[in-house]
Amino acid sequence: MTQTMESRFLASQSSGDVSAVLQRPDDARALYVFGHGAGAGMRHRFMQAASDALGDHGIATFRYQFPYVEKRIRRIDPQPVLLATVRAAVEAAAAAAPDLPLLAGGKSMGGRMTSLASAAEALPGVRGLVFFGFPLHPAGAPAVTRAEHLERVQTPMLFLQGTRDKLGDLDLLRPIIERLAPRASIHIVEGADHSFEVPKRSGRNLADVLEELAGTVSSWAASLT
């Protein structure tokens, strides 16, 4: 059985309250604070499907909105607001399930903002960071400047990346992770794009990929304890 509970928390004094969803299976062993990507909120089908898959592997999720999505504004919040929201989400998640060890991260932008917040100051109680498609650079503009802050992250990190991800050139990302080892590791999905969709000819679909990723996250999380 899985319990689902909706709530609200204060993202920052300037931006007000945002929504959150706690999805907790009965056998939960950890809680993942799960930020969404830039183009879609916490109720996007990927966020729901990933949460379901993680739950099947004993990982509860705490999905939350960034303020611009909560207010239905297209323009992304300034970075200080995004980082404050990450910190507030971690605090709210810890209060919602105080008995579970915390992981944090997110899809694309949600993961990067979590890493930036952790680089500035370790997130209280968070044992590991998990990135679903770390956005290393804009599409068509390979660069590594978005990864410079990772040197200051002391929390263990797991990168989940696809070989067709146009925002994460593996030839650039792999050397970064190698330099950050052992506190950083990567799991690569053959054929997956930034949304973890794979070609039909692969014989797999998004559900298959998410099952693989959820199992990877669960095993990795168990290694942290």
Question: What are the residue boundaries of the structural domains of the chain, listed by start?
Answer: 2-224
Evaluate if pTM is beyond 0.95.
yes
Stretch 206-220: mean pLDDT, rounded?
98
Stretch 130-140: mean pLDDT, rounded?
97
**184 pLDDT exceeds 70?**
yes
Q: Are 79 and 119 in contact (CB under 8 A)?
A: no
pLDDT given for residue 225 in this prediction: 67
Of the candidates 44, 28, 24, the one whose C-alpha atom is nearest the C-alpha of residue 36 is: 44
Q: Are 66 and 18 in contact (CB under 8 A)?
A: yes
Return the CATH number of the domain spanning residue range 2-224. 3.40.50.1820
pLDDT given for residue 38 in this prediction: 96
Direct distance between the N- and C-terminal alpha carbons of the chain, in angstroms, rounded to an integer = 24
**57 pLDDT exceeds 80?**
yes
Spatial distance between the Cα atoms of 79 and 73, rounded to a whole number of angstroms:
15
Percent of the chain whose pLDDT exceeds 70: 100
Stretch 46-57: mean pLDDT, rounded?
98
Spatial distance between the Cα atoms of 88 and 207, rounded to a whole number of angstroms:
30
Give the amino acid at 161.
Q
User: What is the tens place of the pLDDT at every residue in 66-123?
Assistant: 999 999 999 999 999 999 999 999 999 999 999 999 999 999 999 999 999 999 999 9
Percent of the chain whose pLDDT exceeds 90: 98
Spatial distance between the Cα atoms of 133 and 200, rounded to a whole number of angstroms:
20
Spatial distance between the Cα atoms of 41 and 106, rounded to a whole number of angstroms:
11
Question: 14: pLDDT confidence band, cut at 50, 70 and 90?
Answer: confident
